[in-house]
């Protein structure tokens, strides 16, 4: 029985005798030139397995696989460069900086598209609240005909164009289960799960010298619990599922939260002939907003829900038909990153901006500055530059290559 090694930097295969132990190449240097090996000879190996060539980010099926082959449930991949977790603006900005410098990487995304929060978790009327000069990503300006404050659709078209321009091809539908630093090898081990067909889930472990946490400060929606909420009986959604006030026309809608989303959604509901009541828990903020907001009613905190009504902390009872929870999001880093020194328990770097982008042992972060796209870009530039400096020393590069790098290489035992 022979073992097959596929290099994703060359797209070719080499045969390894079984008598020799099969090890993953974790060197930062490019692999040696492989011996000649034809697809015909590969097809004679049993059991049959599917391989993919990721040279330049393109997939190539070489051999069909048996439907009950365990290869589809587990695999291990060696990455010459960093594993980037998240294909939102932060992750894409880091990836573009690495791609321009010829640094290998892989970018993992649990959703099926880039910038999934923007594409799937925002309302139709959303506009950037900062001028575009503070929102564009590195090395790729907005089109000149774009307005100063971009709409949701304009920003999505920009971010998709950004990924296409730099030929960034994330691994979609792949969720990170855990990531931990292996002190013995000095490498990061990132375990993921992804769907493979209708019933099989594939588990993969990525071995890399660096990991970039770019999963964002808004990875999970916050859904608070309220007394009596199960008795309410009306429609309850989070702001991430709100698209338009069209379905709420004629309704009395309680909007829980007075941040940017709460204000925007309340105004959008007014535009669609709904009657919003926006909850403002902080009495001082409530008094201030009452002198500024005229379009809809502001109410204090919630005491409890009942059938078709909500009782407020001041004793007032308000009849409502629906509830929109504009209660924000949180980071989910602490649920999968097995590291306590750089990240706090709430999933944010302990060091504030501008020092929260680099930890120890090859750990990096981008997009946790609480300064929006501007902060994400600042982080991404520093992360890509720092990894490049270390990477070029390990590979012997003295100048930046002009050709984009392959993303990673994979080693499979047959």
129-157 core/surface letters (b: 16 or more CB in 10 A; e: else): eeebeebbbbeeebeeebeeebebebbbe
List all residues 6 or more positions away from 109 whose beta carbon is below 8 Å from its beta carbon. Answer: 86, 87, 91, 116, 170, 171, 172, 173, 174
Mean pLDDT of 232-252: 97
Answer whether residue 386 shows pLDDT above 50: yes
Nearest residue to 57 via CA among 25, 109, 11: 11
- How does pLDDT run across 70-105, given as a tens digit for each residue? 444 678 999 999 999 999 999 999 999 999 999 999
- How does pLDDT run across 97-108, given as a tens digit for each residue? 999 999 999 999
Give the per-residue pLDDT at 16. 31
Q: Which residues make beta-bridge pairs with 260?
A: none
Mean pLDDT of 39-53: 30
Could you state, in order of their start, the residue ranges of all structural domains in the chain? 2-78, 82-219+336-388, 222-325
Q: If you search the block for the tokens 């889930």, which residue do you land on? A: 201
Check: CATH 3.40.50.300 for 222-325?
A: no
List all residues 6 or more positions away from 96 whose beta carbon is below 8 Å from its beta carbon. Answer: 137, 138, 139, 140, 162, 166, 168, 380, 384
3-class SS of residue 359: coil
Backbone dihedral region of 361: left (phi > 0), alpha (psi from -120 to 50 degrees) or beta?
A: left
Same fold, 82-219+336-388 and 222-325: yes
Cα separation of 237 and 223, whole Å? 9
- How does pLDDT run across 194-241, given as a tens digit for each residue? 977 666 789 999 999 999 999 999 999 999 999 999 999 999 999 999
Answer whether residue 399 shows pLDDT above 80: no
Q: Enter the pTM of the model.
A: 0.78
Rounded to the nearest integer, the mean pLDDT of the chain is: 82
User: What are the backbone dihedrals phi and psi of residue 68, each rounded to the nearest 5 degrees, phi first?
Assistant: -110, 25
Give the per-residue pLDDT at 269. 98
- How does pLDDT run across 114-160, given as a tens digit for each residue? 999 999 999 999 999 899 999 999 999 999 999 999 999 999 999 99
pLDDT band per the 50, 70, 90 thresholds, residue 65: very low
CATH of 82-219+336-388, one of 3.40.1160.10, 3.50.50.60, 3.30.200.20, 3.30.70.1350: 3.50.50.60
- How does pLDDT run across 263-294, given as a tens digit for each residue? 999 999 999 999 999 999 999 999 999 999 99
């Amino acid at each position: 029985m022979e073992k097959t090694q596929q290099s994703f930097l060359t797209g070719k295969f080499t045969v390894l005798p079984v008598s020799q132990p099969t090890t993953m190449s974790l060197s930062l240097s490019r692999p040696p030139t492989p011996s000649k090996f034809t697809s015909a000879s590969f097809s004679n190996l049993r059991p049959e397995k599917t391989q993919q060539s990721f040279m330049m980010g393109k997939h190539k099926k070489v051999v069909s696989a048996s439907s009950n082959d365990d290869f589809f449930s587990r695999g291990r991949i060696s990455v010459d460069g960093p594993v980037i977790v998240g294909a939102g603006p932060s992750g894409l900005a880091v990836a573009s900086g690495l791609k321009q410098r010829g640094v290998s990487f892989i970018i993992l995304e649990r959703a099926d598209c880039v910038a999934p929060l923007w594409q799937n978790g925002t309302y139709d009327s959303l506009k950037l609240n900062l001028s575009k000069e503070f929102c564009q990503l590195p090395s790729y300006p907005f089109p000149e005909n774009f307005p100063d404050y971009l709409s949701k659709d304009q920003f999505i078209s920009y971010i998709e164009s950004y990924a296409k321009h730099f030929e960034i091809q994330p691994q979609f539908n792949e969720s990170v289960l855990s990531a931990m630093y292996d002190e013995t090898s000095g490498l990061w081990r990132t375990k993921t799960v992804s769907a493979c067909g209708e019933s099989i889930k594939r588990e993969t472990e990525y071995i890399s010298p660096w990991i970039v946490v770019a999963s964002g400060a808004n990875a999970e929606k916050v859904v608070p619990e309220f007394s009596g909420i199960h008795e309410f009986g009306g429609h309850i959604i989070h702001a991430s599922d709100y698209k338009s006030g069209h379905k709420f026309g004629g309704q009395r809608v309680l909007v829980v939260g007075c941040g940017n989303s709460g204000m925007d959604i309340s105004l959008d509901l007014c535009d669609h002939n709904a009657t919003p009541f926006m909850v403002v828990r902080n009495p001082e903020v409530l008094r201030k907003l009452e002198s500024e907001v005229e379009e809809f009613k502001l109410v204090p905190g919630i005491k409890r829900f009942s059938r078709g009504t909500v009782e407020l902390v001041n004793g007032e009872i308000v009849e409502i038909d629906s509830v929109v929870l504009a209660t924000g999001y949180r980071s989910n880093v602490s649920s999968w990153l097995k590291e306590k020194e750089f990240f706090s328990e709430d999933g944010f770097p302990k060091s504030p901006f501008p020092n929260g982008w680099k930890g120890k042992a090859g750990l990096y972060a981008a997009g946790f500055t609480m300064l929006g796209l501007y902060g994400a870009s600042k982080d991404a530039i520093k992360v890509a530059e720092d990894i490049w400096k270390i990477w070029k020393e390990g590979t012997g590069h003295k100048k930046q290559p002009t050709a984009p790098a392959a993303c990673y290489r994979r080693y499979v035992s047959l």
